[in-house]
Amino acid sequence: MLNPIRLLLLGPPGAGKGTQTTKLLKQFPNLKTVSSGDILRQHIRNGTRIGVLASQFIKQGKLVPDELITKLVFKHLSTFNDSWILDGFPRTFIQAQNLSQYLNPLNRDISLVIELDVPDSVIMSRIEERWVHLPSGRTYNDTYSKPKVPGLDDITGEPLVKRSDDNKLAMQTRLKEYKTTTAPLKQFYKDRGILTTISGDSSDVIFPILLDAILEKSREAL
């Protein structure tokens, strides 16, 4: 019997957090998951007040304010059960502290943090080839994971689009911002002994290692 797993996937933009999450959901269909970027893109798409505010930051490759994203993610987390994956949140030290303060009293703090370490050069070329189905967050890539019909989502047949921040300029800011903001975040989880890094150039190389790390963790005595 496996123990609950509460995983945070860390990694620079385009590292494949979403792709790995999709693969993990196939193995563990009971897992719940939330992607902070997907929530924000939904708001933008629906033209909500939050969306209008967030898009100003996102377009430039900057982070949205901590309080804004914390509130949005907590709303999802409150509906989750024992096992889940977080993609894109927490992203700053403050967010990590807030999350710990929220989960600790519930005895449900993050049990494993995995950083996907992918070279900048691979990331830059992936981003240029990335297409997204906004309503679901599903992503495609012109080389590795083409849609069955060019330009259309495999499941709904709806159109794929480019993200407003998937361009060279915003990407450079996002990569730089990632490195600065995650250093203290990684230290926070390293101090707790739950940080693991997996390096690789492709999602297919990373996935089996990720799966092993999760299985090993979930077999540990609680």
Active-site residues: which are they?
Answer: 17, 91, 130, 163, 174
Supply the DSSP string of 41-72, one letter for each residue.
HHHHHHT-HHHHHHHHHHHTTPPPPHHHHHHH
Instruction: Give me the half-sphere count of Cα atoms (radius 13 Å) on the Cβ side of residue 180.
Output: 8
* Least distance in angstroms from the C-beta of 2 to ligand ATP: 27
Cα of first residue to Cα of last residue in the chain, in angstroms, is 12
Does 63 engage in binding with ligand ATP (CB under 6 A)? Answer: yes
Within residues 37-56, the interface with Mg ion by CB under 5 A covers 37
Does 147 engage in binding with ligand ATP (CB under 6 A)? Answer: no
Does 64 engage in binding with ligand ATP (CB under 6 A)? Answer: yes
Does 174 engage in binding with ligand ATP (CB under 6 A)? Answer: yes
* Least distance in angstroms from the C-beta of 172 to ligand ATP: 12
With beta carbons less than 8 A apart as the criterion, state whether 144 and 135 touch: no
DSSP state of 105: G
> Of 177 and 214, which has the nearer Cβ to ligand ATP?
177
> Of 36 and 218, which has the nearer Cβ to ligand ATP?
36
- Taking the C-alpha atoms of residue 138 and residue 40, their distance in angstroms, rounded to an integer, is 14
Which secondary structure element, helix H or strand E, spans residue 77, and what is its range? helix 66-77
Nearby residues of 150 by Cβ (< 8 Å), 6 or more positions away: none
> Of 115 and 165, which has the nearer Cβ to ligand ATP?
165
* Least distance in angstroms from the C-beta of 70 to ligand ATP: 8
Binding mask 85-104 for ligand ATP (x = CB under 6 A): ---xx-x---x---------
Instruction: Give me the half-sphere count of Cα atoms (radius 13 Å) on the Cβ side of residue 50.
Output: 17
Does 147 engage in binding with Mg ion (CB under 5 A)? Answer: no
- Taking the C-alpha atoms of residue 187 and residue 90, their distance in angstroms, rounded to an integer, is 13
Q: How many residues bind Mg ion (CB under 5 A)?
A: 2
Does 37 engage in binding with ligand ATP (CB under 6 A)? Answer: yes
Contact residues for Mg ion, defined by CB under 5 A: 18, 37
